[in-house]
A and B are shown apart, each in its own frame.
Chain A
Amino acid sequence: MSYLRLERIEKRFGPVSIIRGVDIAAEKGEFVVFVGPSGCGKSTLLRMIAGLEEVSGGDVYIDGARVTQTEPAKRQVSMVFQSYALFPHMSVRENIAFGLKMAKVPRAEIDRQVAEAARILQMEPLLDRRPRQLSGGQRQRVAIGRAIVRHPKLFLFDEPLSNLDAELRAQMRVEIARLHRELGVTMVYVTHDQVEAMTLADRIVVLRGGVVEQIGAPQDLYDRPANTFVAGFIGSPKMNFLKGRLESADAAGVTVGHPALAAPLRVARHGTAAALVPGAEVTLGLRPEHLALEGGGARIGLTADLSESLGGSTLIHGQTRTGETVSLQVPGRRMLGKGETFSVGFDPAQAYLFDADGRAL
């Protein structure tokens, strides 16, 4: 049995359905990331695991026990809030010790635990400061310290890095990954940033509009997205989509035509979508990093729009004859003038195919 299990979880705020039947399971020690656009219900889901929000339907299990009706404190979970939620009138030490004090842990033991947490997070010199005397990154550390000191069964993070600047965010991301490795604990982490999801997660849960779109390892989601939403959400820059027609289909693969394609494209099948009728509308998905100016088994003709130099590489945006936008990332500096025509090549094995409803073929 899984360490954390959500079973047909639903949440309604009045008449509005926010979470609509979510099933998720996580193993002990796993790092699970909930990712999805803002407002899709990630925080609500996390808060239901913590017990801060009641479920409208379904059950929550932690470590084999049903905790759906259990009050938050008894669930043995810790949460790091987006706003950190540090107690402003207490020192760092008191903030970290708060939970232990509430649990009536002996004084000496509290001191030992706090010192240990401070050592792990390298914040010994900060212990006697107040939260307002700390930088954003330091506050973040304190919030994490407060979470780890109680040795909870589950760590919950709600967009913990979104208030930090880019550099600090990258640094804290590495730190959280290190913490997970060192402590070997189960973490559930919410973010709307797919880069955080890709780099931190053992498993990613992609949410949209209160339903799970796909669950899988980062590489699986990248390689085999279940639909156009996941395909567009995972990976940066975003995947290009071209609307084409199915020319023929057999057990091994399909042939797709598109006005911008020099020749019909033969693609192997991944998904298990139902009947494929020649002439049906399909969506061809191409990742910007899989396109190249030279070489490749298949080619698309484009008109250049805009080139953005990223220093080491260049992001080129172009348009097909049908007016669809295609972006590609190429190494080096290759600035193309607006209106210049060019063609890009790619390996057909790296192309993605989706049916008219957006499901992977």
Chain B
Amino acid sequence: MPSRSAGRLLHGLGLLAVFAVTVFPTYWMVSSSFKTQSDLLASPPVWLFTPTLANYADVFADQKVVNAVVNSLIVAVFSTGLSVLLGTPAAFALARYDFRGKSDLWFWFISNRFVSPIVLALPIYILARNLGLLDTHLVLILVYITFILPIVIWIATDQFRSIPKELEEAARLEGASQFAIFWRIYLPLGLPGIAVSAIFGFIFSWNELLYALVLTRRDVQTAPVVATSFMSGYELPWGKIMATGTVIVLPVTIFALLVSRHMVRGLTMGATK
């Protein structure tokens, strides 16, 4: 049994390491957001402190932060929503039909992602400027769709492919149109995959910084852009930065929790056999 308990020890240490890397920073951010500036700067760091909501009051009093959260929400909801709206029918076609150029199209979706985003930043900036789209929600939504749409198509196609072909054939015999087959069979059965891709898309657009920095100025700055904007000057407002961070993380977490209900696999079980 010694090897077994050694294994357990290693297992425990591994978990601790993962915990330290992933959960601790979040804990530190959230707890710091409730500290006063003097507690924050205390050395050694204080673990027990009297919590304060002052930082949050500060954040929500700052119109810039509130606007940024609203902007981020608008951009994330529309870029994710439109990607799902456009991506799922595309995935249905890719999963179920053979057509010329199918594999090329398929490859194009991945190869797109080979290009480093920074390479395209300048051309897109110039394009947006010439079209008069700088500092609008639309330009961010459009740019984010080019990232999210392939994710949706990829995951949804894979999900749709796993749906037994006989279900479609049975529906066809029962008189269902192509749209009805998509809407009543594929969409509900593909929901787990679609939900996963929607979460990825939402998180991506919520956290995206590069294009948001390049393409926005004052009116539609998103949350990550505003968070970075505090990091200037002589005395960093740590409490406010941490509170802003918490406010930024919260919506994605809630969204992910809401959608994860649908991620439960095994919905297709019982279709056959």
Contacts and interface: CB of A to CB of B under 8 A. Distances in A.
Contacts of B257: none
Given A72-B172, A130-B270, A83 B189 contact: no
A83 B173 contact: no
A136 B270 CA distance: 10
B273 A83 contact: yes
A103 B175 contact: yes
A163 interface: yes
A71 B173 CA distance: 9
Interface in B132-180: 164, 166-167, 169-177, 180
B268 interface: yes
Interface string B260-273: 00000001111111
Interface stretch (A84-92, A214-222, A235-243, A295-303): A84-92
On chain A, which size bracket covers the interface? 20 to 34
Interface residues of B, number: 24
Interface stretch (A74-82, A178-186, A283-291, A329-337): A74-82
A130 B270 CA distance: 8
B14 interface: no
B139 to A, nearest CB: 38
A93 interface: no
Nearest to B185: A87
A210 to B, nearest CB: 21
Given A83-B164, A85-B166, A85-B170, A73 B175 contact: yes
Given A81-B169, A81-B170, A99-B174, A89 B188 contact: yes
B163 to A, nearest CB: 9
Contacts of B189: 88-89
Given A83-B164, A83-B166, A102-B180, A88 B174 contact: no
A73 B273 CA distance: 24
A78 B267 contact: no
A81 B166 CA distance: 8
Contacts of A89: 188-189, 267
Contacts of A132: 269-270
A244 interface: no
B263 to A, nearest CB: 15
B175 A99 contact: yes
Contacts of B171: 87, 98
A52 interface: yes
Interface in B237-273: 267-273
B112 to A, nearest CB: 33
Nearest to B270: A132
Nearest to B166: A85
Given A88-B270, A98-B174, 4 more contacts: A71-B172, A86-B271, A87-B271, A88-B269
10 contacts: A73-B175, A78-B173, A79-B170, A84-B273, A85-B271, A87-B167, A88-B268, A99-B174, A130-B270, A131-B271
Interface of A: 50, 52, 71-73, 77-79, 81, 83-89, 98-99, 102-103, 130-134, 136, 139, 146, 150, 163
Interface of B: 164, 166-167, 169-177, 180, 184-185, 188-189, 267-273
> Closest 3 interchain pairs by CB?
A132-B270, A99-B174, A83-B272
